[in-house]
Structure formats: C-alpha cells, structure tokens
C-alpha cells in the first residue's frame, strides 16, 4: 500500500490542530468497530503500545519543555520504534510531506512553509501483512505559543467535509474528513485531537498532539478491508509515543 503521510503533519497534532472534521466515523476505537461519530473513546490497557498510566509526567528536562539546545538526533531517539508496536511492523524511510494541506487549493503553501521549524524528526513503521502503517513526526518550536500557532494552521487545513491527502510524491487521494475528536484525556499532553479521513482506497486516522513547545503528529493508514483487531489501538500508540517523548 502506498504511504499517505499527509502534509498535515503538524496539523496532526490532531489533538490540537483540530483537523476538526465534521461528521463521519470514528476509527479511534478499541480494536475493531467504530464509536459514534465524533465520539472519543478510551485507550484499552491491553494494546501492545499502551504504557502504564503511572508513566512519569513531563519533566523540565525533556525536549518538549526545556529551553536548552536540542538536536535532531535527540528528537529521533524519542520516536516510536517497531518494537513499540508489536509483531509485524518494520521501519522504512521517512520523508517529510511538503504538499498542500487537505482543504487547501492545489499549489497552496505546505504546512512546512506556513509553520517552519528546523527541528523535525520522523519515523514510518509499516505492517505489510495488514496493509497498514503508522507515521510519527515530532516538530519542536521555540515556545508553546509557536507550537499553538502551528496547530491552528494545521487545524484550518483540515476544516472541510472533503479534501485531498497528498502522498510525498505529489499524487493525491480524495477523502471525506470527519469531525475532530478531543482525545486529550486519552493521550495526555497539552492538547490532543483526532479525526478520520476515509476513501475507497485507504482510511487514515490523524492524531495531533501539542506537548508544550512540541507538536507530535501521528497518522494511521490502513486498507479499508484490514481487520483492525490485528492492529494496535491508535490512541494506545499515540499515548505510548507521547510517554516515550516525556521520558526522553
């Protein structure tokens, strides 16, 4: 399956960027099935990527909160690895998406153009057997105000009932965009939002999380026919990713 890590990346801070989708289905569910449209669901404790609720709170020494110099290598070390997702996932090359946001017209500035930062690291983890993948992008801004502004830009780029998701090679996929779901209580951090995008070719769940001055953008891509019970819970994965950053 072709990778479709939307340019919404920072918007993905879905938790923030409020890809405020409207209506639609919620795939941020506990394994199989879906919750009611726009209804946040809890993260099951049994998912492979779910970590203990007693994980340490954000420390002043973490990249997301510290004002000390941070390197891209440090950000990369805080990202999810195949072992964090369970059997079947493998690492593949990550490429930043520099195409327009889903609700923007063709040729519009990318998210990177509108909310630039040099401190970006990402990972792409694929499960070929299940035709699914998980992408995580960690973007660090000078302060929380910068991260919030980036989040607003991303949210605006998802504020429409239908749009286009652009692959890194520039090809696009027309999708329906659902209403945003506030999943802050499920994931933790400053703010977290999730929304579904659906099409006959692929379903993509975006989760955008603001963690102080950081934006963490997750995208969960799968074939519509994939058995979701064979994949880790998306909110469990996002929560584990945020806790890993907090421990870094």
Q: What is the pLDDT of residues 90-108, one digit of tens each?
A: 999 998 888 999 999 989 9
Residue 87 φ then ψ, to 5°: -65, 145
Give the chain's mean pLDDT: 78
Q: Nearest CA to 169 among 98, 223, 120?
A: 98
For the chain, helix (H) and strand (E) counts, in that order, are: 6, 9
Position 111 scores a pLDDT of 92
- Is residue 83 classed exposed, middle or buried when 0-12, 13-18 and 19+ CB atoms within 10 A define those classes? exposed
**What percent of the chain is predicted at pLDDT more than 90?**
61
CA distance 24 to 22: 6
Q: Which domains does the chain have, with CATH numbers?
A: 9-247 (3.40.1000.70)
Residues 6+ apart with CB under 8 A from 12: 6, 19, 137, 154, 206, 207, 208, 209, 215, 216, 217, 218, 219
Using the predicted structure, report yes or no on whether residue 19 has a pLDDT greater than 70. Answer: no
Q: What is the pLDDT of residues 147-201, one digit of tens each?
A: 999 999 988 998 899 999 988 787 889 999 999 999 999 998 999 999 899 999 9
* pTM exceeding 0.85: no
Confidence of residue 34 (pLDDT cuts 50, 70, 90): very low
CA distance 207 to 181: 9
Which helix (H) or strand (E) element contains residue 152?
helix 144-156
Position 167 scores a pLDDT of 82
- Is residue 158 classed exposed, middle or buried when 0-12, 13-18 and 19+ CB atoms within 10 A define those classes? buried
């Amino acid at each position: 399956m072709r990778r479709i890590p939307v340019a919404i990346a920072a918007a993905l801070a879905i938790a923030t960027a409020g890809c405020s989708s409207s209506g639609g289905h919620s795939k941020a569910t506990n394994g199989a099935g879906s919750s009611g449209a726009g209804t946040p669901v809890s993260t099951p404790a049994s998912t492979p990527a779910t970590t203990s609720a007693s994980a340490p709170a954000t420390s002043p020494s973490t990249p997301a909160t510290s004002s000390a110099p941070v390197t891209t290598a440090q950000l990369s070390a805080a990202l999810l690895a195949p072992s964090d997702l369970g059997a079947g996932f493998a690492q593949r090359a990550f490429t930043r998406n520099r195409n327009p946001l889903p609700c923007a017209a063709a040729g519009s500035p990318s998210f990177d153009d509108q909310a630039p930062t040099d401190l970006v690291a990402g990972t792409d983890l694929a499960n070929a057997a299940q035709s699914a993948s998980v992408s995580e992008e960690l973007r660090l801004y000078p302060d929380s105000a910068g991260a919030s502004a980036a989040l607003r830009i991303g949210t605006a780029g998802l504020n429409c009932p239908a749009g286009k998701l652009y692959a890194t090679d520039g090809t696009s996929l027309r999708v329906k965009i659902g209403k945003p779901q506030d999943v802050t209580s499920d994931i933790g951090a400053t703010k977290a939002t999730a929304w579904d995008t659906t099409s006959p070719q692929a379903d993509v769940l975006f989760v955008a999380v603001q963690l102080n001055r950081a934006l963490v953008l997750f995208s969960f891509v799968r074939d519509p026919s994939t058995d979701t019970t064979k994949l880790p819970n998306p909110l469990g994965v996002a929560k584990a990713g945020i806790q890993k950053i907090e421990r870094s």
